[in-house]
Amino acid sequence: MGMEGSAREMLSAGTGATHEAAFRDGPYEDARALLEAALQRAQADGDRATEAGALDQLGWLLHFRTLDGDLDGAEPEAERSLFERALAIRRELGDLAGTAASLFGIGLVHQVLRRDWDAAMPCFREALALADEHANALVRSECHRHVGFYFMVEDVRPEEALRHLRISLELREQWGDPRWVPSGTLALGHAELVAGMRAEGIEHIRQAVQQSREAGLSPRRIQSAEDWLRRAEAGETPGSR
């Protein structure tokens, strides 16, 4: 799709292009152009819900692009600003599913870019409570995923980590997009290694490698899963280095 169509159609196309760039090395600039066009059209039309969606996805685009590059080149303030602008609109509209998604995005900035779990967890907890009641399977999966990470690496409680990461993987499978499944399988494998379930962890990481190949993910993502399989087979546990 070019720059024709409604704001909602351009947002859908831009979201798809963002995911293709993140998972399969598509062009981020094409995705950005679609999302910025969606934002401008939504603002011109007074379509506040689509405006919030475009802001939220522009935040995700920045996040994915950072993960594909170097965290030293991250733009945490720019990313957080986009999620916060989306959050303000969604709260105003009473959009509880959207509120959950934007709160999660803000938590992601704190956790991944600022490495500040104390700031991230209130966002993740509020997002998870709303998401489990109102949001789609993908948003719910992401919330459970990062709460699971908290119990895996910060407040180490392996059983809680496993519980959340199992739910996260099940929700990714329900969502039905094979690009999202390998990361859920890999995360569960990591949690099993931390919990001392080495055979199960290695098997899930091996599955993640196969799923990454079958989904046609980028070489970087496949190599990352393969690297973790070698490390797990060599006896390494996440956080042990």
Whether 224 has a pLDDT exceeding 60, the answer reads yes
Q: Report how far residue 18's alpha carbon sits from residue 59's, in angstroms, rounded to the nearest whole number.
A: 11
Whether 206 has a pLDDT exceeding 70, the answer reads yes
The C-alpha angle 48, 51, 54, rounded to 5 degrees, equals 155
Whether 69 has a pLDDT exceeding 90, the answer reads no
Whether 178 has a pLDDT exceeding 50, the answer reads yes
Q: How far is CA 89 from CA 1, 9, 143, 212, in A?
A: 27, 20, 21, 36
pTM, full prediction = 0.94
Question: In angstroms, how far is CA 220 from the centroid of its own chain?
Answer: 17
Lowest mean pLDDT among 15-24, 69-78, 147-156: 69-78
Crossing angle of the two packed helices 219-233 and 198-214, in degrees rounded to 10: 160
Tokens coding 169: 């993987």
**Non-local CB neighbours of 74 within 8 Å, separated by 6+ positions:** 66, 113
Whether 240 has a pLDDT exceeding 60, the answer reads no
Lowest mean pLDDT among 13-22, 45-54, 63-72, 196-205: 63-72
Q: Report how far residue 146's alpha carbon sits from residue 39's, in angstroms, rounded to the nearest whole number.
A: 28
Q: Report how far residue 34's alpha carbon sits from residue 154's, in angstroms, rounded to the nearest whole number.
A: 38
The count of other CB atoms within 10 Å of the CB of residue 156 is 13
Q: What is the pLDDT of the chain when averaged over all its residues? A: 95
Kindly state the average pLDDT of the residues 189-197: 97
Report pLDDT digits (tens) over 70-105.
666 678 999 999 999 999 999 999 999 999 999 999
